[in-house]
Amino acid sequence: MLRTDNGREFTVEEFADYCANEGIMRHYSAPNSPQQNGVVERRNQTVVGMAQALLKQRGMPTKFWGEAVVTAIHLLNKSSTKSLQGKTPYEAWYGRTPAVVHLRVFGCLCFAKELNQVRKLDDRNRPGVFLGYADGAKAYHVYDPVSQHVLVSRDVVFDETRAWDWNSSAEHAASMAEDGHHWSFRRSGHAFTNDGHHSYRAMLTSSGGAWRRCIGGWCIDSALLYFDTARLALPCFGAIPCSGDSSGGRAGPG
């Protein structure tokens, strides 16, 4: 027996024929009487409340309400309930406990692998927002705020402690989310090494900034490479000239 209200999705001829062919008896609630269908109405309230919480926890726009509802149902199907004596709906249907290792925080910042052909020094991933789980595939839905497209990818790295900045422009938020080399160079000290070369030190202003070691007018980013006693002749990877000093030289100790 199936009890529903009088919504058009339940009264269309195709659904009526399906129920008749499957031997399903149908009962309808009286018009404007949701209390006669209390179980479904209460469940709808649970789903809507959970979807609202998913959106609010990361300050996401309400335009993602559909993805939040689908994710809420996915989580409820893998959560235990008293009506099934502590079992999950998934376990009651399939006869096995559900896997939960793939669950992630809805709306968190994530980085999806770039599947298109990229050059050697191009970014290998793009920042985005986690929007849920792909139906019928072991993959995730990732929203790219820059292109405003939803990607389906299994190669995703999550940062569940961070969220997208919806108040700023998409391009600015993307640059802040990426762990790129965005810094301003400033000398903060001058010294001589044992072999008489000039040595300068500067602080990087990027997030998780690092120190640079500069000798003879050239700098090695310590976030990329560390040099103790080795000498590297220019041109070398990661070496850039210091401002105000155009003299050549070699990369010195890190």
In whole numbers, what is the pLDDT of the chain averaged over residues? 75
The pTM assigned to this predicted structure is: 0.62
- The topology under which CATH files domain 2-94 is Nucleotidyltransferase; domain 5 (3.30.420)
Instruction: Give the pLDDT confidence score for residue 195 in this predicted structure.
Output: 57
Give the pLDDT score at 177.
63
At 124 the pLDDT is 79
Query: What is the domain partition of the chain in residue ranges?
Result: 2-94, 108-177, 187-241
The encoded tokens of residue 105 equal 């925080």
Q: How confident is the model at residue 238 (pLDDT cuts 50, 70, 90)?
A: very low
pLDDT tens, position by position, 99-157: 999 999 999 999 998 877 677 777 778 899 999 999 888 999 999 998 899 999 999 99
Could you report the per-residue pLDDT of 183-197, keeping only the tens digit for each?
Answer: 444 455 555 555 555
Q: What is the mean pLDDT of residues 216-239?
A: 41
DSSP-assigned letters across all residues of 157-197: EEEEEEE--TTS-HHHHHHHHS--------EEEEEE-TTS-
CA distance 79 to 86: 9
- pLDDT tens across 3-56, in order? 888 888 888 999 999 999 999 999 888 888 888 888 888 888 999 999 999 999
Q: Which of 242, 238, 254, 227 is nearest to 187 (CA)?
A: 242
Taking CA atoms, 173 is separated from 35, 126, 184, in Å, by: 46, 12, 19
CB environment 160-173: b (16+ within 10 A), e (fewer): eeebbbeeeeeeeb
Q: Report the pLDDT value the prediction gives residue 49, as an integer from 0 to 100.
A: 95
